Structure 1
Amino acid sequence: MKVAVLGSGIIGTATAWWLRQAGHEVVVVDRQAGPAQETSRANGCQIAVSFAEPWANPHAPLKVLKWLFQKDAPLVFRPQLDWRQWRWGLAFLRECLPARLAPNIRAMVRLSEYSRRTLQAMRADLDIDYKHLECGILNFYRDPRLFEASQQAADLMRDFGVDRRIVSADEILRIEPALAGSREHIVGGDYTSEDETGDVYLFTTELARRAMQQGVEFLFSTRATRLLAEKGRIRAVELIDPQGLYRSLEADAFVAALGSYTPQLVAPLGVACSVYPAKGYSATFDILDHGAAPTVSLTDSEHKMVYSRIGNQIRMAGTAELSGYGRALNTIRCDNMVTLARRLFPSALDFDNVRFWSGLRPTTPSNVPLVGRTRISNLYLNTGHGTLGWTMGVGSGRALADLISGRRPEPEFPFLG
């Protein structure tokens, strides 16, 4: 069977890889000049099963109202004249109902665990160097109330099989000595030793190269503009090639893995896709003093920031702006990131040569991604992974390849279709 995969981030590239392993003819289309150039370019690098939990919970609405008036708030909702944003917001509020929390966490954890196992197996089989570390993820707290609330969240995650262990402030320093300068402000934390980190861009670009060697065709600098339907099926996708000419690509099945832009492609066909962009930021610092820089990946719970070591650099990432499709950098947020990093690691990093980036995370109201077949029998979605695209990416790609191949995927997950 010939399958057209639209998008070559970690989601689309992993889907193409596993479809090829299943024996299909695969063509990947991407508007950029190479793979992983958008949301998969410079994220926080965490493979974080321990944080596979939704933003939507019973406490979220009050937090969002509070953050509306903070310029540097971790999550900002900036109202737009866009009905899609308001529809997404109403759906988010429904997902905040207490009865929705447990099933959403269960779905996210199951897919995340499966994806981490899949990634580990791929690493062993393919020997891809993506600067991965298996040092776990350490989440630290400054506010005693947040720390107490985190213990309830950790208990819930353990109920789903995630070993998110509560640790004292002293134990935090034993796990990551680089936090010694902040000891007086830290009240405790939690630690998951099984979680990992790695550069998603390096992994995705190398996986794409291996896929090409196995016969997957990549059409870069090519924009998918329209899906052409005929007799209840998709016959072809309309493309604009690098020369600006229109052409069509016919296939037996089509996978929309365009991140936040997926709804724009499938909506004209009446296909539901409740995904909206949440703009995130990252800052990459060169390490000046390796002994003073963290090795364990860190999550600053108060500011919703993560820090991961990737080779000779530290990648800091966080924040979420529900403000439309713009990627312009907000200088207040960038300056705040540098301030936070300087407080934690004042002598470790090169603060004069910071590389900032922003990306649009494709986010569903529940944070549970959309993976599976739509009401159109040969059109599939693989999008909506939010902040967990790297955590869930290779697993959702493999699971969707199984579905397209007529096999039952391994993870227990509410697949579409």
Structure 2
Amino acid sequence: MRVIILGSGVIGVTSAYYLAREGHEVVVIDRQPEAALETSFANAGEVSPGYSAPWAAPGIPAKAIKWMLMKYSPLMIRPRFDPAMWSWCLRMLGNCNAARYEQNKGRMVRLAEYSRDKLRELRNEIGIGYDERSRGTLQMFRSQKQLDGAVTDMAILDRYGVPYELLDREGCLAVEPGLADVREKVAGGLRLVNDETGDCFLFTQRLAKEAGQLGVQFEMGVNITGLQLEQGRIRGVETDSGNFVGDCYVVALGSYSPLLLKQHGIRLPIFPVKGYSITLPIINPYASPISTLMDETHKVAITRLGDRIRVAGTAELAGYDLSLDESRGDTVRFVVSDLFPNGGDLSRSELWCGLRPMTPDGTPCVGATPISNLYLNTGHGTLGWTMACGSGRLVSDLVSGKRPEIGTEGLSIDRYLRRRRLVGRPLKRLPSITGSR
């Protein structure tokens, strides 16, 4: 079967690799000159199944107000007349209750745990290296109230058999000795012992080469303008380099996926949430993080990637605006200097931003659509790297007609769709929408 994949971020490339391994002829289309140059480029570096949780949670509306009033705020909302943004916000608020949170977290953990296992298998099979470490994630609490609040997450982790350790201050310092100089700021932590770290960009670039050796064709620097739909099937992808025709199509465009699909009556409730990161060189390995530390107060992750520290966080609702606001980097700079003041050279840090494709319930949309030969692998939010291998393998199995290794309940777009007539009208040319997600 000839499969066309739209998007060459970590989600698109893992999908391509697994599909090619099943013997399919695979073509990947992307507007960028190389794979993983957008949202996959400089993310937090976490492969964190244990930390997989929806942003929509009990108490979040009140917390959001508090966050926006903080000096180093993890959240910013830029008011704008954007029905898609406000609709997404209302849907997210509808998920901020205990029952929805438990259901959504369970779905996310299921996929994320499976994905971590697939990543390990892949690493063993092809020997791919990407500054990886298997040293866990420490969710660090600055207050006793935060520590007490971990009980809810621990109950869900217990239910899904995810191992963890609840640590006091000394336990946190034992796993992250670089915190020794700021011990008074640590109340305790929840350590997800099976979590990993690694450079998503490096992984995606190297896996793309592996996929190329399996025959995957990468059409880079190509702008997608729309899909051609006839009688309930996609007949081709229209681009500025001509039409691409296949038997099956996989949309892995992250935040840009809704722009492509809405012309055909598929309303994907995905909205871009801008995040920032800095990358700085390590100057003192003993004063740097060992693995990943998540500062629960500021919602900032600090990760060791080889001889670098990656610090990522903040959530900015500003539509598709990719402008680099230097002031938004203050939060991530503050957190790394506050917790690991002697670990890296902030004067040589590089600031970056990217758009996270967020669904209102936190769970991605992976699987079939009402269009018979169209599949989705999108909407992973902050967890694209964590869920990439599992999502890619899942889509490959579905396209190949194989029974997936995990349950697919609640992972597809079906949870959002109201059945409606598919739209097959003359193609309206869209702005360039293909991105590396």
TM-score normalised by the shorter chain: which range applies?
A: over 0.9
Contact (CA 8 Å) 2:363, 2:411: kept in 1 or not? no
In the alignment, the residues of structure 1 paired with residue 371 and residue 93 of structure 2 have an alpha-carbon distance, to the nearest angstrom, of 29
| 1:257 is aligned to 2:268 | no
In the alignment, the residues of structure 2 paired with residue 174 and residue 231 of structure 1 have an alpha-carbon distance, to the nearest angstrom, of 62
Aligned residue for 2:346, secondary structure, equals: coil
1:7-46 equivalence runs, <5 A: 7-46=7-46
In the alignment, the residues of structure 2 paired with residue 173 and residue 97 of structure 1 have an alpha-carbon distance, to the nearest angstrom, of 34
1:264-343 equivalence runs, <5 A: 264-343=259-338
What TM-score, normalized to structure 1?
0.96
- The alpha carbon displacement at 1:411 in A equals 1.5
| 1:393 is aligned to 2:388 | yes
In the alignment, the residues of structure 2 paired with residue 171 and residue 32 of structure 1 have an alpha-carbon distance, to the nearest angstrom, of 44
Deviates more, 1:360-369 or 1:346-355: 346-355
| Matching residue of 2:62 | 62
| Matching residue of 2:136 | 136
| Matching residue of 1:355 | 350
Contact (CA 8 Å) 1:151, 1:166: kept in 2 or not? no
- The alpha carbon displacement at 1:70 in A equals 4.3
- The alpha carbon displacement at 1:57 in A equals 1.3
- The alpha carbon displacement at 1:71 in A equals 6.1
Read off the aligned partner of 1:11 and give its amino acid letter: I
Aligned residue for 1:64, secondary structure, equals: helix
Contact (CA 8 Å) 2:106, 2:156: kept in 1 or not? no
Contact (CA 8 Å) 1:76, 1:320: kept in 2 or not? yes
Read off the aligned partner of 2:267 and give its amino acid letter: A
Contact (CA 8 Å) 1:53, 1:105: kept in 2 or not? yes
| Matching residue of 2:423 | none
In the alignment, the residues of structure 2 paired with residue 376 and residue 176 of structure 1 have an alpha-carbon distance, to the nearest angstrom, of 49
In the alignment, the residues of structure 2 paired with residue 415 and residue 301 of structure 1 have an alpha-carbon distance, to the nearest angstrom, of 27
Taking only the aligned residue pairs, the percentage that are identical comes to 43
Contact (CA 8 Å) 1:139, 1:299: kept in 2 or not? yes
1:158-237 equivalence runs, <5 A: 158-237=158-237
In the alignment, the residues of structure 1 paired with residue 112 and residue 31 of structure 2 have an alpha-carbon distance, to the nearest angstrom, of 28
Read off the aligned partner of 1:375 and give its amino acid letter: P
Read off the aligned partner of 2:48 and give its amino acid letter: A
| Matching residue of 1:244 | none
In the alignment, the residues of structure 2 paired with residue 163 and residue 47 of structure 1 have an alpha-carbon distance, to the nearest angstrom, of 15
Contact (CA 8 Å) 1:284, 1:354: kept in 2 or not? yes
In the alignment, the residues of structure 1 paired with residue 150 and residue 76 of structure 2 have an alpha-carbon distance, to the nearest angstrom, of 22
Contact (CA 8 Å) 1:64, 1:77: kept in 2 or not? no
In the alignment, the residues of structure 2 paired with residue 346 and residue 97 of structure 1 have an alpha-carbon distance, to the nearest angstrom, of 38
Aligned residue for 1:352, secondary structure, equals: helix
Contact (CA 8 Å) 1:285, 1:351: kept in 2 or not? yes
In the alignment, the residues of structure 2 paired with residue 325 and residue 333 of structure 1 have an alpha-carbon distance, to the nearest angstrom, of 16
Call closer, same or farther: CA 1:68–1:290 in 2, change over 3 Å: closer
1:374-389 equivalence runs, <5 A: 374-389=369-384
In structure 2, the gaps of 5 or more residues are: 415-437
Deviation digits for residues 268-311 of structure 1 (CA, Å, limit 9, x no counterpart)? 00012110001111110101111211212111111111111111
Read off the aligned partner of 1:222 and give its amino acid letter: V
Deviates more, 1:325-334 or 1:20-29: 325-334
Read off the aligned partner of 1:212 and give its amino acid letter: G
Contact (CA 8 Å) 2:40, 2:201: kept in 1 or not? yes
- The alpha carbon displacement at 1:383 in A equals 0.4
Aligned residue for 1:180, secondary structure, equals: helix
Q: Give the CA RMSD over aligned residues.
A: 1.3
Runs of 4 or more consecutive aligned structure 1 residues displaced over 6 Å after TM superposition = none
| Matching residue of 2:240 | 240
| Matching residue of 1:119 | 119
Deviates more, 1:342-351 or 1:379-388: 342-351
Aligned residue for 2:347, secondary structure, equals: coil
1:65-144 equivalence runs, <5 A: 65-70=65-70, 72-144=72-144
In the alignment, the residues of structure 2 paired with residue 415 and residue 198 of structure 1 have an alpha-carbon distance, to the nearest angstrom, of 25
In the alignment, the residues of structure 2 paired with residue 48 and residue 78 of structure 1 have an alpha-carbon distance, to the nearest angstrom, of 29
Deviation digits for residues 232-254 of structure 1 (CA, Å, limit 9, x no counterpart)? 1110000113xxxxx11111111
Contact (CA 8 Å) 1:287, 1:314: kept in 2 or not? yes
In the alignment, the residues of structure 2 paired with residue 163 and residue 192 of structure 1 have an alpha-carbon distance, to the nearest angstrom, of 7
- The alpha carbon displacement at 1:162 in A equals 1.4
What TM-score, normalized to structure 2?
0.92
Contact (CA 8 Å) 1:71, 1:332: kept in 2 or not? no
In the alignment, the residues of structure 2 paired with residue 327 and residue 154 of structure 1 have an alpha-carbon distance, to the nearest angstrom, of 36
